Amino acid sequence: MSVRVRFAPSPTGGLHIGGIRTALYNYLFAKKNNGTFILRIEDTDQNRFVEGAEEYIVEALNWFGITPDEGPVQGGEFGPYRQSERKSVYAEYAEQLIESGHAYYAFDTSEEIEAMKARLSDARVVNPNYNAITRSQMKNSLTLSAEEVQERLSSGEPYVIRFKMPKHEDVRFKDAVRDWVVFNTSTLDDKVLMKSDGMPTYHLANIVDDHLMEISHVIRGEEWLPSAPLHVLLYESLGWDAPQFAHLPLILKPDGNGKLSKRAADKMGFPIFPLNWTDPKEGEQSVGFRESGYFPDAFLNFLAFLGWNPGNEQEIFSLDELVAEFSLERINKAGAKFDIEKARWFNEQYLKAKSNEELAALFTADLEHELSSGKAEAIVNALKERVTFVSEMAEAGSFFFERPGHYDEKTVRKKWNEQSANGVAKFGEAIAALDQVTPEEAKSLLVETLESLELGLGRVMPALRVSLTGQAGGPDLMEIIAILGPAEVAERIRIAVDTLDQ
């Protein structure tokens, strides 16, 4: 059997981290098994449709490079891939279910349903729902005569089609993550399959499309687990084989206390969306991981570990390596705690591993200062161990472009004295004679200068650093000297000696 999996988001807003993880796991599983990764847009609920949400999903997937093999953009043999363009497909299956006795017409108005629920709540019924018990008191094709049903249908009275949930049956299925799962139908209601506007609900459309698109594995978030027994029964009722299910663990808040929500993420000050998202209705803006400075490969590596692990110590995985290692068996059952520090750590590892050339291009892209490529590469090399994001480099390396406005007070108080100042000044004189230096040459020159003064490196380095950068700490000092160049170093030393010796 060939592996065909789908990512089936509803375009109801910005796709958040859970959705992206679902997409990634589907992709990894497909590629691992030489299968097909499909994007299907589940937009049957017109009331929840949000402008721009589908484009956002496509752009987010592209950002990571997990492009679908089939989907609304790519097309494919099983299209269309937007449910709103498949409207005509579903009715026939709803009819089939009615004919086989697995579904029925229901004519109840929403007021009547509310009244029934209120009555049951008053009688302290735990699940006040339209279900195997209550349907016998409602207006539907199970309680009305065939003639009356026909009459209502032909007179154009609004109706829905509901699934006839068996009364008291165990539904079992094997989930690739959770193993055997059992639900008793007494806890389930008679879900609407076709709405009065002629549109299918999620449940019907999802099952029909998974069948018609020959989906072999349904890999989706745990929040869909309660719907799975209905889906299993729908497959059975339609006489179809169900796909293999895999329900992914929830993504939890950092303390493990409850599901990670947008509100929780906002409160803790970290992104939850892959890309910036502006809600078209509320105008509310959310920052994305991309715009926060995360590399797509680092973020993807982080995401892969939110609910899966390779079973060994390795943490850094390229997309190809993830494909090679991935399996549904290694997905955890327990919820995955979201840890933004870990996301930052991944970004740091990817940043350090990138070539100076690549980093320099990113660094200079929106830098105000003009730089030769050689100098830009030397600067990023000096800074790459010290930042989490490329966007922090301009600030972390501001002293490369500006002379110190002030000198770190504590360093000056503790490290600037007659001897160290003299060492710094002499080094300034010595280096002024040169045109350019490498870090190694700068080091030898400093050692020689200090030897002649019988001063140790350790006594002078902090004073030299503060006079060149104004700061107490920072990247390798010899690299800084090489980047600034002899003339600038000599000038900064002159200014520092003038300022600090007063």
Tokens of 262: 């947008």
Q: How far is the CB of 55 from ligand GLU (least distance, A)?
A: 16
Nearest to 484 by CA among 384, 415, 403: 403
CB atoms within 10 A of CB 131: 19
CA 43-251-229 angle, 5° bins: 55
Which residue among the candidates 253, 262, 337, 342 is catalytic per the annotation? 262
Q: How far is the CB of 202 from ligand GLU (least distance, A)?
A: 6
Q: Which is nearer to ligand GLU, 229 or 475 (CB)?
A: 229
Query: Quick check: is 262 catalytic?
Result: yes
Q: Which is nearer to ligand GLU, 228 or 424 (CB)?
A: 228
Q: Is 285 helix (H, G, I), strand (E, B) or coil?
A: strand
Q: Which is nearer to ligand GLU, 29 or 295 (CB)?
A: 29
Q: Which is nearer to ligand GLU, 10 or 364 (CB)?
A: 10
Q: Which is nearer to ligand GLU, 215 or 360 (CB)?
A: 215
Distance CA 349, CA 182 (A): 43
Q: Which is nearer to ligand GLU, 16 or 139 (CB)?
A: 16
Distance CA 204, CA 235 (A): 10
What's phi and psi for 124, nearest 5 deg?
A: 60, 35
Q: Which is nearer to ligand GLU, 53 or 424 (CB)?
A: 53
According to the binding rule CB under 6 A, does residue 220 interact with ligand GLU?
A: yes
Q: How far is the CB of 53 from ligand GLU (least distance, A)?
A: 11
Task: Please check whether residue 285 is in contact with residue 278, taking contact to mean a CB–CB distance below 8 angstroms.
Answer: yes
According to the binding rule CB under 6 A, does residue 173 interact with ligand GLU?
A: no
What's phi and psi for 179, nearest 5 deg?
A: 65, -140
Q: β-strands 160-163, 192-194: how paired? A: antiparallel
Q: β-strands 277-278, 285-286: how paired? A: antiparallel
According to the binding rule CB under 6 A, does residue 347 interact with ligand GLU?
A: no
According to the binding rule CB under 6 A, does residue 235 interact with ligand GLU?
A: no
Which one of residues 24, 33, 37, 42 is an interface residue with ligand GLU (CB under 6 A)? 42
Q: How far is the CB of 45 from ligand GLU (least distance, A)?
A: 9
Tokens of 469: 């950068």
According to the binding rule CB under 6 A, does residue 345 interact with ligand GLU?
A: no
DSSP string of 16-55, one letter each residue: -HHHHHHHHHHHHHHHHTT-EEEE-B----GGG--TTHHH
Distance CA 464, CA 415 (A): 10
Q: How far is the CB of 231 from ligand GLU (least distance, A)?
A: 8
Q: How far is the CB of 108 from ligand GLU (least distance, A)?
A: 26
According to the binding rule CB under 6 A, does residue 222 interact with ligand GLU?
A: no
Which one of residues 26, 206, 411, 420 is an interface residue with ligand GLU (CB under 6 A)? 206
Chain centre distance of CA 225: 21
Tokens of 123: 């009688």
Q: How far is the CB of 19 from ligand GLU (least distance, A)?
A: 7
According to the binding rule CB under 6 A, does residue 10 interact with ligand GLU?
A: yes
Q: Which stretch binds ligand GLU (CB under 6 A): 5-13, 51-59, 466-474, 478-486?
A: 5-13
Q: Which is nearer to ligand GLU, 13 or 423 (CB)?
A: 13
Which one of residues 224, 235, 345, 389 is an interface residue with ligand GLU (CB under 6 A)? 224
According to the binding rule CB under 6 A, does residue 72 interact with ligand GLU?
A: no
How many chain residues touch ligand GLU (CB under 6 A)?
A: 8
Task: Please check whether residue 462 is in contact with residue 411, taking contact to mean a CB–CB distance below 8 angstroms.
Answer: yes
According to the binding rule CB under 6 A, does residue 229 interact with ligand GLU?
A: no
According to the binding rule CB under 6 A, does residue 201 interact with ligand GLU?
A: no
Q: Which stretch binds ligand GLU (CB under 6 A): 7-15, 187-195, 452-460, 473-481?
A: 7-15
Q: Which is nearer to ligand GLU, 7 or 159 (CB)?
A: 7
Residue type, 209: D
Distance CA 387, CA 305 (A): 23
Q: Which stretch binds ligand GLU (CB under 6 A): 3-11, 70-78, 96-104, 271-279?
A: 3-11
Q: Which stretch binds ligand GLU (CB under 6 A): 2-10, 270-278, 333-341, 391-399?
A: 2-10
Nearest to 289 by CA among 277, 269, 271, 307: 271
CA 254-56-363 angle, 5° bins: 75
The stretches of 366-417 forming alpha helices (DSSP H) are 373-383, 393-396, 409-415
According to the binding rule CB under 6 A, does residue 216 interact with ligand GLU?
A: no
Burial (CB < 10 A; 0-12, 13-18, 19+), residue 459, is middle
Task: Please check whether residue 300 is in contact with residue 24, taking contact to mean a CB–CB distance below 8 angstroms.
Answer: yes
Q: How far is the CB of 61 from ligand GLU (least distance, A)?
A: 15
Nearest to 67 by CA among 27, 101, 25: 27
Tokens of 233: 């029964």
Q: How far is the CB of 11 from ligand GLU (least distance, A)?
A: 9
According to the binding rule CB under 6 A, does residue 54 interact with ligand GLU?
A: no
Residues lying near ligand GLU in the complex (CB under 6 A): 8-10, 42, 202, 206, 220, 224
Q: Which residues are catalytic?
A: 262
